[in-house]
Amino acid sequence: MEKRVFNEQTGISYTLQGDYYLPDLELPEQEDKPIGLWGQRHLKYIKQHRKILYINLLTSGKLSKHLADIDNRAEDMFSRLVKQMVERDGVTEQLKADNQMEWVARMNNICNRATETVKNDLIYN
């Protein structure tokens, strides 16, 4: 038996592995982009709940770009939401100077609300 076979109709070569010929498939080159916390959360979500989207992005070589884009959009949205909520709720540097515990409590509340909004709108969508 031949070790390698090429099928001219499909354009795919096959390699003998034991008793079976398996296709020689490779994923396309992907550009390595840094993926932050938001991108990692989205990756975990699409792996578990949107498997077809995950496989399509992975096999087309667009997964890294997609995750980096989601990460950037989520970070921008989070920063914008925190800034808007701080202004709306009146959390100021004066409050920080006068009552640090109150300032920390309000800022934690704002960050948690912004995180939940980003998760619902971008990460788990």
Are residues 58 and 111 both part of a single domain?
Answer: yes
Number of structural domains, the chain?
A: 2
Strand runs labelled E in 2-121: 4-7, 12-17, 20-23
Angstrom distance (rounded) from CA 26 to CA 19:
21
User: Do 16 and 45 belong together in one domain?
Assistant: no
Both 81 and 22 in one domain: the answer is no
Distance CA 124, CA 63 (A): 16
Domain match, 12 and 69 both: no
Name the residue range of residue 68's domain: 33-123
19, 46: one domain: no
**Share of residues in the chain with pLDDT > 90 (%):** 70
Pairing of strands 4-7, 12-17: antiparallel
Express each pLDDT in 58-69 by its tens digit.
988 899 999 999
pLDDT tens figures, 25-49: 776 677 778 899 999 999 999 999 9
Name the pLDDT band for 5 (thresholds 50, 70, 90).
Answer: confident
pTM: 0.77
With 0-12 / 13-18 / 19 or more C-beta atoms within 10 angstroms meaning exposed / middle / buried, residue 7 is exposed
The confidence band for 81, taking pLDDT boundaries of 50, 70 and 90, is very high
